[in-house]
Amino acid sequence: MRVAIFGKQNPRYFREWMKTELEKNGFEAELQDMETRTFLDYADRFLDWDALITCGEKLPTEAMRTLGKGRVKIISRWGVGTDEMDKKEASAQGIAVCNAPGSLSVAVAECAIGLMINLLREFPARDASVRKNDWSWFFEGRLSHQLEGKTVGLYGFGDISKALAKMLYGFDCHVIATDVRFDEETARKYDVTRVDPETLIRESDVLSLHVPAIPGVTTDMVDMAFLSRMKPTAILINTARGSLIVEEDLYKALTTGVIAAAGLDVFRKEPPEPDNPLLTLPNVMLLPHAGAGSHECLVKSSAMAVDNIVSFFKGQPKHLLNPDALKGG
């Protein structure tokens, strides 16, 4: 059985570890350092492989159809999000798709709370002023805000949001959340109040996005109409997917006082173009899709990515996202 390991943006020693673990289990594994993350550019080169470990490579309909001409039976997502894959087409081609649920939750939740604190306390601006020998923040009594006691809205209440709710509980925040599938037990444990989307948008001091990018449903949902319903003092946090936000509208909202600030770990285009106007704003904190970029996170996700493949070929599939792929097989 041959396994191709992608995700060259992650440290090589993790990919080498996965290769070694797969070989211990009788697989032939090779690291793939591709020039792009668009799988269709090279899909026909992997028709003779049995399994793929991917990490954000885009596998749309045509890529799945190309793979369906070969012998690929499973794609193991090194991480959680799979909106870059056409899972319906994968099922049609008899290709199982699985991921590593929960492996990123704490890391991304820490990223979100870090953005909240940095923006509320204006730490990036204060850091920059000290480097310029400017102590006006101190001598002029320029104040910022605490996270404690704020109303924090979680738009989506999945694994990351629940990890974040646990952290916010210690800050004595008023946490509100909205989701189609709502975990009442976790909400009670961490004193999270379920609200409708409109209430969450209207009442949040900090609004954190935690939904997948679903075309026609959540993509482009944060437009000017959405932003205009937020408090003018509110902060928007996005550690989910860049396509949730209409960036032109966010720029306008941030420069006209519609909202106060934003913390972004994701962009519509990654890396963003150098002339992206959001890069020029002092009331935006920007990160390079680093939410899941912790050593501890990759330890978990690497082990799960390997285990998914080993278990699958033992006839005991785990974390399967498209069970229809196994019908008739």
Query: Does 62 qualify as catalytic in the annotation?
Result: no
For the chain, what is the HEC assignment?
CEEEECCCCCCHHHHHHHHHHHHHCCCEEEECCCCCCEHHHCHHHHCCCCEEEECCCEECHHHHHHHCCCCCCEEEECCCCCCCECHHHHHHCCCEEECCCCCCHHHHHHHHHHHHHHHHHCHHHHHHHHHCCCCHHHHCCCCCCCCCCCEEEEECCCHHHHHHHHHHHCCCCEEEEECCCCCHHHHHHCCEEECCHHHHHHHCCEEEECCCCCCCCCCCCECHHHHHCCCCCCEEEECCCHHHECHHHHHHHHHCCCCCEEEECCCCCCCCCCCCHHHHCCCEEECCCCCCCCHHHHHHHHHHHHHHHHHHHCCCCCCECCHHHHCCC
Query: Does 319 qualify as catalytic in the annotation?
Result: no
Query: Are the beta carbons of 15 and 7 closer than 8 angstroms?
Result: yes
CA distance 329 to 323: 11
Sheet strand arrangement including 174-178 = 192-194, 174-178, 151-155, 206-209, 235-238, 261-264, 284-286
Please tell me which residue in 248, 270, 273, 296 is annotated as part of the active site.
270
Please tell me which residue in 241, 247, 268, 319 is annotated as part of the active site.
241
Please tell me which residue in 145, 174, 202, 289 is annotated as part of the active site.
289
Query: Does 71 qualify as catalytic in the annotation?
Result: no
Quickly tell me which residue has 């993509």 as its tokens: 219
In a 13 Å sphere around the CA of 69, the CA atoms on its Cβ side amount to: 9
CA distance 111 to 119: 12
| Residues recognised as catalytic | 241, 270, 289
